[in-house]
Amino acid sequence: MRILLVGHGKMGRMVEALAPEYGCDVAGVLDPLSPRHGGGPDADAWRGVDVAIDFTTPDSVMQNAPVLARRGIRLVIGTTGWSAHEAALRKVIADSGSGIVVAPNFSTGVVLFEAAVAYAAKLFAPHQEFGAFLHEAHHSAKKDAPSGTALSLRRAMEQAGYARPIDVSSTRAGSIPGTHMVGFDGPAETVTLTHAARDRTAFARGALTAAKWINGRSGWYSMKDVLGLK
């Protein structure tokens, strides 16, 4: 399977390093900031590419993803902060017959963590004495806050029936790969659930797993679909 790396920063390079383990051949790099930039989304160089994996910026997603989808290239999008444009990209995916996996976090552990958090929220929902909070921490270069994962966790809690306010806070410091903590605080006790990434490997492996899964499929999917949780 041939993959295109859209973005060749830390995540793109990690995906490239692990690609052979997943039977993937890196066809090239779409990143104007990289010396390996092979051209824009309409370049002839991308003929025969099966899946594009995008870890870039919100603006780049909307510049590249629609063009690639119309060419029949499947997409794996790990970039966050572009949800305001989701409806437009959904239409492109539907009209083109392409397929896409979108996730704020491709870590298998985070996807399972979200399921556990949703279940906990359902259990705590009837107990008015417990208030919920969510804190996330990432490296200083991460621009969006709260993280896409934090917003997804809050949405999962609300969908599980937790209707009271959920305080969400963020930290941007150092080189933290990503930590998310959900807590339920009562008058005399606190219950917390935490996921902490030790490095970016889990995200890259999840993206490659998603790429293998979406190849040949049509439609809009999440990592829950990839892991069979839907």
Q: What's 167's domain CATH number?
A: 3.30.360.10
User: Does the bond joining 165 to the residue before it have cis omega, within 30 degrees of 0?
Assistant: no
Q: Is 212 a catalytic residue?
A: no
For residues 127 and 19, membership in a common domain is answered with no
Question: Which DSSP letter does residue 97 get?
Answer: T
Annotated catalytic residue, options 8, 135, 138, 195: 138
For residues 30 and 101, membership in a common domain is answered with yes
For residues 70 and 130, membership in a common domain is answered with no
Surface-to-core class of residue 159, CB atoms within 10 Å of its CB (0-12 exposed, 13-18 middle, 19+ buried):
exposed
The residue count of the chain comes to 230
Residues 6+ apart with CB under 8 A from 63: 41
For residues 87 and 192, membership in a common domain is answered with no
CATH number for the domain harbouring residue 29: 3.40.50.720
Select from 118, 77, 75 the least CA-distant residue to 99. 75
Give, for all 230 residues of the chain, the pLDDT tens digit. 999 999 999 999 999 999 999 999 999 999 999 999 999 999 999 999 999 999 999 999 999 999 999 999 999 999 988 888 999 999 999 999 999 999 989 999 999 999 999 999 999 999 999 999 999 999 999 988 999 899 999 999 999 999 999 999 999 999 999 999 999 999 999 999 999 999 989 999 999 999 999 999 999 999 999 999 87
- The whole-number pLDDT of residue 171 equals 98
User: Per the structure, how many domains does the chain have?
Assistant: 2
Query: At residue 166, what are phi and psi to the nearest 5 degrees?
Result: -125, 110
For residues 114 and 72, membership in a common domain is answered with no
For residues 192 and 215, membership in a common domain is answered with no
Question: Which DSSP letter does residue 37 get?
Answer: B
Annotated catalytic residue, options 142, 180, 212, 224: 142
- The whole-number pLDDT of residue 160 equals 98
For residues 160 and 211, membership in a common domain is answered with no
For residues 101 and 142, membership in a common domain is answered with no
Pairing of strands 179-185, 190-196: antiparallel
For residues 17 and 83, membership in a common domain is answered with yes
- The whole-number pLDDT of residue 53 equals 98
C-alpha–C-alpha distance, residues 181 and 3, integer Å: 34
For residues 101 and 21, membership in a common domain is answered with yes
Determine contact, residues 134/167, Cβ cutoff 8 Å. Answer: yes
Pairing of strands 131-138, 99-102: unpaired
Q: 164 is in which domain, residue-wise?
A: 108-196
Q: Is 10 a catalytic residue?
A: no
For residues 172 and 221, membership in a common domain is answered with no
For residues 88 and 98, membership in a common domain is answered with yes
Question: Which DSSP letter does residue 45 get?
Answer: G
Residues 6+ apart with CB under 8 A from 209: 22, 106, 108, 226
